[in-house]
Amino acid sequence: MSFEAFLIQTGVNGLILGALYLLMAVGFTLVFGSLRVVNFAHGEFYMLGGFAAYFTTVTMGLPAIASIPLAFLFVAVLGLFCERAVFRPFRGDELNGMIASIGLALILQNGALMLFGPMPLAMPPFAEGLTRFGSIVIPTSRLLAIVISAAVLAIFYVVMMHTRVGRAVRAMVQDAEVASTFGIHPGLVYPLGFALGVGLAAVAGAVMAPLFSVSPFTGHTPLLKAFLVVVLGGLGSIPGAAIASLAVGLIESYTATFYGSLAADGLILLLAVIMLVMRPNGLLGRAMRVG
Amino acid sequence: MSWTLISGLTMTTTLRVRDLRVSYGPVQAVRSISFEIEPKAIVALLGANGAGKSTTLRAITGLQRPVEGEIEFEGRSISRITPMQLARAGIAFSPEGRRPFGEMSVLENLLVGAHTRPRDVAKKLDRIYEYFPRLKERSKQISSSLSGGEQQMLAIGRALMAEPKLLLLDEPTLGLAPLLAREIMRILREINDEQGISILIVEQNARMALKLCDYAYVLASGRLTAEGTGGDLLKGDYIQNAYIGN
C-alpha cells in the first residue's frame, strides 16, 4: 500500500468515526433539547441498536440493509416506553432526570449482559469487495457506512426542518410555554423527541456493528465521544456538532494511526478542556440557561 | 349583557370573566375581577406594573390556573382549559416580551402559529404580509435577528395564523418607539375592522390603548377600580389614580 493510499484510508476511517459521533451527538442533543435530560443511557441505545442489527441479519437472516430501519424502529419503541416509565416522573427536574438516566443505563447494560452474555459477537459486513476511485481503493462496506449515516442524517434534517412535526418539536424545544398555546402538546413532543434521539443512536449502533463488534459494553465510547462533540460543538447547535464530529473523527483517526490511540484520546480530551476554558459555549453554541 | 340582533337571536358574549381570583402561592395577584368582551370589540386592561393584568391573561390562556371564578368563551366554560386547547377553541395569544421562536425563521414562526389550522396557509400568509409587509421582506430571516417592533409584528402575525376569534395581546407596545407603537395600534384596529376579531389588550401605555379600544377596565392591586369607554376614561382621572395611587 502506498503512503498516499494509507493516508486516504486513514481519512475514510476518520469520516466513519465522524459519522458515528455525529449520529450520537445529534440524538443526544435532541433528547436534551426536548426533555432537558442529559441522557447517560444514550450509549446503551447505541449498544441495543447493534444487537438489533445482529439478530435481524445473523439470526433471522434478513438482508443487512433492512437491519438499520428495524434497529431504529425497535429502539425507538423501547425509547417511547423508557420515556414513559423512567423520565416522565422527573419532568422539569433536570438533576433527578439525569440520575434516572444513569440508572436506566445500568439496567439496560446488565439486562443485555444477562440476555446475550459478555462475549463480543461478530457481524458480517454490509457488502464484500472494494470500491475504486481511480487509484484509491476503499472497502465497499466502509463506504456504505458513511453513505448510510449521511443519508439518515439527511432524512432527519429534512424531517426536523421541513415538516409540521419537526417544526412542532423545534418550537417546543425553544419555548415550551408559547408552543403549547398554539396547540403543540408537550405530552406528544417529549416521547417523540426521545424516541427519535435514541433511534439515531440505534442507527449508529447498527451501522457500526459490522465494523466493530456487538457486546453489552460497546455503548461507553460512543457516549463519551458524543459528550466531547457536544462540548466542542456547543450544546444545541447541529452545525457545531457536525463540524466537531468530523474534526474529532479525523483527528482521532490520524493521531491514532501515527501516534497510537492513547495519544488520540488524550489529544481530544485536551481539545475539549481548551474549548471549555476558551469558549465554554462551544464552537457555535449559544449561552446556556442554568436551572 | 348581550347584543340583540334584529332577528331576535342573541349574539353570545365573546368572553365573560366572573369573580376571577388568581394566586401565586400566598400572593394574591388577582382578587375577584369580572369583565366582558362583546363580539368584535377591542377591550383594554390597564393598570400599573403588578396590577394583575398579565396574570388575568395567563388565567384565560390556561397557563395559570385560577383559584376561583368562571371564564366563558362564546358561552362555553373555559375555566379549566389547558394551553394546548386554546388555539383550537379559537383564542390566540401574543405573550409579553413577544417571545418569537428565536432560532426559526419568520416564516417558520408563522407556520407554527398555524399548527392547529394548517389549511389555506398560503392565503393566510398573504393576508398577514399585507398587514405587515416588513415580515414578508424578512420571511427567511432568523427571528431573533429582528428588531423589537418587527418581533411584535411577528408575534401578532403568528397569533393570527391560528385564525382566532379572540386575540389576547400582552404589552404589544412595550419598549417600542412611539411612532412604531402607534403603527401597531393602527394595524390592530384594521385587523379588528376587517376580520371582526375581538381583541383583549393589556397595556401599561394607557393613553395609546384608550385611543384604540372600545371599552377599558382599569386594574389596581388585583382589583377593578374603573371601567368605561376609551373616550370617557381619557377624560377622567381614573387612569392617573390607577397608576399613581389615590
Write down the mean pLDDT value for chain A: 90
Query: What is the C-alpha to C-alpha distance for residues A55 and A215, in angstroms, rounded to an integer?
Result: 12
The pLDDT value recorded for residue A81 is 96
Query: What is the C-alpha to C-alpha distance for residues B181 and B176, in angstroms, rounded to an integer?
Result: 6
Q: Is the pLDDT of residue B11 over 80?
A: no
* Residue A238 located in a structural domain: no
Please report which confidence band the pLDDT of residue A11 belongs to, taking 50, 70 and 90 as the band edges.
very high
Who's near A81: CB < 8 A, 6+ residues apart?
none
Q: Is the pLDDT of residue B15 over 90?
A: yes
Query: What is the C-alpha to C-alpha distance for residues B200 and B166, in angstroms, rounded to an integer?
Result: 7
Write the pLDDT tens digit of every residue in B183-225: 999 999 999 999 999 999 999 888 899 999 999 999 999 999 9
Q: Which of B64, B81, B84 to mutate to test the interface with A (most CBs of A within 10 A)?
A: B84
- Asked whether B124 and B114 are in contact (CB, 8 A), the reply is yes
In chain B, what are the domain boundaries?
15-90+164-243, 99-162
| A171 interfacial to chain B (CB closer than 8 Å) | yes
Q: Can you tell me the ipTM of this complex?
A: 0.90
Q: In chain A, which among 26-85 make CB contacts under 8 A with chain B?
A: none
- Asked whether A172 and A188 are in contact (CB, 8 A), the reply is no
**Which of A27-41, A265-279, B116-130 has maximum average pLDDT?**
B116-130
The pLDDT value recorded for residue B246 is 42
Task: Note the pTM of the prediction, 2 decimals.
Answer: 0.86
The pLDDT value recorded for residue B181 is 94
Q: Which residue of B has its CA nearest to A181?
A: B83
Spell out where chain B has E strands. Answer: 3-4, 10-11, 15-24, 27-37, 42-47, 68-73, 76-77, 91-94, 166-170, 198-203, 215-220, 223-229
The pLDDT value recorded for residue A284 is 73
Residue B145 has what DSSP assignment? G
Higher pLDDT, A250 or B12: A250
Query: What is the C-alpha to C-alpha distance for residues B82 and B95, in angstroms, rounded to an integer?
Result: 16
| A100 interfacial to chain B (CB closer than 8 Å) | no
Higher pLDDT, A77 or A91: A77
Tell me the residue type at A23. L
Pick from A241-245, A285-289, B49-53: least confident = A285-289
What does the pLDDT average to over A108-112?
Answer: 97
Interface contact B101-A181, CB threshold 8 A: no
Q: Is the pLDDT of residue A172 over 80?
A: yes
* Residue A195 located in a structural domain: yes
* Sheet of B15-24, strands arranged across: B27-37, B15-24, B68-73, B76-77
Q: Is the pLDDT of residue B7 over 50?
A: no
Write down the mean pLDDT value for chain B: 91
Residue B112 has its nearest CB partner, among A167, A177, A185, at A167
Q: Is the pLDDT of residue B9 over 70?
A: no
The pLDDT value recorded for residue B8 is 46
Q: Which residue of A has its CA nearest to B163?
A: A182
Q: Is the pLDDT of residue A288 over 50?
A: no
Q: Is the pLDDT of residue A236 over 80?
A: no
Pick from A95-99, A134-138, A188-192, B27-31: least confident = A134-138
The pLDDT value recorded for residue B244 is 54
The pLDDT value recorded for residue B240 is 66
Who's near A86: CB < 8 A, 6+ residues apart?
A100, A101, A103, A104
* Residue A241 located in a structural domain: no
The pLDDT value recorded for residue A282 is 78
Q: What is the DSSP string of A233-263?
A: H-TT-HHHHHHHHHHHHHHHHHHHHHH-HHH
- B220 phi and psi angles, rounded to 5 deg: -145, 130
Please report which confidence band the pLDDT of residue B243 belongs to, taking 50, 70 and 90 as the band edges.
low
Interface contact A181-B93, CB threshold 8 A: yes
| A209 interfacial to chain B (CB closer than 8 Å) | no
Who's near A145: CB < 8 A, 6+ residues apart?
A16, A19, A126, A207, A208, A210, A211
Residue A201 to chain B, least CA–CA distance (Å): 25
Please report which confidence band the pLDDT of residue A1 belongs to, taking 50, 70 and 90 as the band edges.
low
Q: Is the pLDDT of residue A111 over 60?
A: yes
Query: What is the C-alpha to C-alpha distance for residues A255 and A187, in angstroms, rounded to an integer?
Result: 45
Interface contact B116-A174, CB threshold 8 A: no
Query: What is the C-alpha to C-alpha distance for residues A65 and A205, in angstroms, rounded to an integer?
Result: 13
Interface contact A175-B85, CB threshold 8 A: no
Q: Is the pLDDT of residue B241 over 70?
A: no
**Which of A163-177, A270-284, B120-134 has maximum average pLDDT?**
B120-134
pLDDT above 90 covers what percent of chain A? 69
* Residue A204 located in a structural domain: yes
Interface contact B101-A170, CB threshold 8 A: yes
* B chain contacts of residue A180, beta-carbon cutoff 8 Å: 63, 82-84
Write the pLDDT tens digit of every residue in B179-191: 999 999 999 999 9
* A chain contacts of residue B101, beta-carbon cutoff 8 Å: 170-171, 174-175, 178-179
Query: What is the C-alpha to C-alpha distance for residues A60 and A56, in angstroms, rounded to an integer?
Result: 5
Residue B177 to chain A, least CA–CA distance (Å): 25
Q: Is the pLDDT of residue A154 over 60?
A: yes
- Asked whether A160 and A172 are in contact (CB, 8 A), the reply is no
**CATH code for B15-90+164-243?**
3.40.50.300
Residue A178's domain comprises 22-217
* A chain contacts of residue B118, beta-carbon cutoff 8 Å: 164
* Residue B1: all three cell numbers together: 349583557
Q: Which residue of B has its CA nearest to A173?
A: B101
- Asked whether A42 and A225 are in contact (CB, 8 A), the reply is no
Residue A177 to chain B, least CA–CA distance (Å): 8
Please report which confidence band the pLDDT of residue A188 belongs to, taking 50, 70 and 90 as the band edges.
confident
* B chain contacts of residue A170, beta-carbon cutoff 8 Å: 101, 103-104
Q: How many domains does chain A have?
A: 1
Higher pLDDT, A214 or B204: A214
Q: Which of B112, B115, B156 to mutate to test the interface with A (most CBs of A within 10 A)?
A: B112
* B chain contacts of residue A186, beta-carbon cutoff 8 Å: 84
Interface contact B102-A180, CB threshold 8 A: no
Write the pLDDT tens digit of every residue in B58-94: 999 999 999 999 999 999 999 999 999 999 999 999 9
- Asked whether A291 and A244 are in contact (CB, 8 A), the reply is no
**Which of A28-42, B2-16, B131-145 has maximum average pLDDT?**
B131-145
Residue B93 to chain A, least CA–CA distance (Å): 7
Query: What is the C-alpha to C-alpha distance for residues A31 and A26, in angstroms, rounded to an integer?
Result: 9
The pLDDT value recorded for residue B205 is 86
